[in-house]
Structure 1
Amino acid sequence: MKRITLVASALLVSFATFAQTTWKVDKAHAKLGFTVTHLLMSEVDGNFKTFDATITSSKEDFSDASFELTADLATANTDNEGRDAHLKRADMFDVANHPTLTFKSTSISKVADKKYKLNGNLTIKGVTKPVSLDLTLTGVGKDGRTQKPKVGFKAVGTIKRTDFGVGGMPSAVVSEEVELRALGEFNQQ
């Protein structure tokens, strides 16, 4: 009887841990970035210094997870002051009228152990388009200080910048395709 009670208790604790659980990004251990090709010969990397992300899931393997992300476009950083200032202008991100980038997932499907296809709607400059990202569960553990559960994810995908009205220059100057990368640790709330 004790064994049945212990098993039932363990199941309840497991269920309670993952019953519609919210996870918030640990900004000290996360990065949101992008890469474009310049003059068909080199890559330029950038990132957003200010962003927020949340995951909601009720399954331990995150196969039903919902992701939401918001980034402050004014914080785009490419390690070049002139280029960073240009990114804020109307022909690029148009930060004065559209200060944020948002992503809201619409579906997730498990494709292999710890590998998922994450679909969602990306909004840049007021234009919303469906995107598909390759998502990897990079780890599960506990925060060393709080002992609360933590989880790590990495998402990568490619978008076409002109689909969102970003940059009118020819693709020989700046590639049409922009690689997006997001990675980080999330703390259970």
Structure 2
Amino acid sequence: MKKLSIILSALVVLSSFTFLDNVWMNDDPHSQVKFTVTHLGIADVSGTFNDFDAKITSSKPDFSDGVFEMTAKVNSIDTRVDARNKHLKSPDFFDAEKFPALSFKSTSLKKAGKNKFKLTGDLTLHGITKPVTLLLQHRGTVEHPQKKKPTAGFKVTGTINRSDFNLGSTFPDAMISNEVRIEADGEFAQ
């Protein structure tokens, strides 16, 4: 009985290390989440979410079995204009007090070329969850020269409609484009 207990304990410990090896976390200084809208039909305005966490769970070196997750704090929105940031946090747009976070969790990943995938998942914004499909590019995996850990790079691009999430519903498309372009870049360490 004692041997069985030791063997089971060893299996649990080993499997937990294996699971941890499959998790990749974003490296904050080398990652960003950016969005862009068109203002008055003539100029692009961009912003970022500066406080976010992202992780990938994958057991394959090409990440073809990856599950991608991200959460961001709405109060970390930054468009370089304080008045605009405050307005975006208000009930007119994100309503940060009522909905303090946005999130994404992938539900499928399909090959779309060399190192490219169609990444589909559930995006939750402003209390509304909708499926979205984005383009994911695996930009490579290297050993970080200082940290001596595997580090993978990814770029995600795509578009969503703000009206799908009831963001800024009183602002017409001619003033602020309904289409919001998403771009995220990140380094992920194991």
Q: Deviations over 1:8-35 (max 9, x none)?
A: xxxxxxxx98996000000010000100
Q: Give the direction of change, closer, same or farther, for the CA distance of 1:77–1:19 in structure 2 (3 Å limit).
A: closer
Aligned to 1:42: 43
Render the CA deviation track for 1:151-176: whole Å, top value 9, x for unaligned: 00000110000110100200000000
Structure 2 residue aligned with 1:66 = 67
| Aligned position for 1:182 | 184
The one-letter code matched in structure 1 to 2:108 is: S
TM-score of the superposition, structure 1-length normalised?
0.88
1:99 shift after superposition: 0.4
Q: Distance in 1 between matches of 2:101 and 2:20?
A: 31
Please give the root-mean-square deviation of Cα atoms over the aligned residues, in Å.
1.5
2:175 aligned partner: 173
Q: Is 1:126 aligned with 2:132?
A: no
Gaps (5+ residues) in structure 1? Answer: 1-15
Q: What secondary structure sits across from 1:83 in the alignment?
A: helix
Distance 1:66 1:20, change over 3 A: farther
What is the CA deviation profile of residues 118-174 of structure 1, one whole-angstrom value per residue up to 9, with x for unaligned ones? 000000011000000000011210111221100000001100001101002000000
Equivalent in the alignment of 2:111 = 110
Return the alpha-carbon distance in structure 1 between the equivalents of residues 20 and 84 of structure 2: 45
Task: State the SS of the aligned residue for 1:112.
Answer: coil
Q: Any unmatched runs of 5+ in structure 2?
A: 1-16
In the TM superposition, structure 1's runs of 4+ consecutive aligned residues that sit over 3 Å from their partners are 16-20
Q: Which has the higher strand share?
A: 1
Identity in percent: 47
Equivalent residues, number? 173
Q: State how 1:117-156 maps to structure 2 within 5 Å.
A: 117-156=118-157
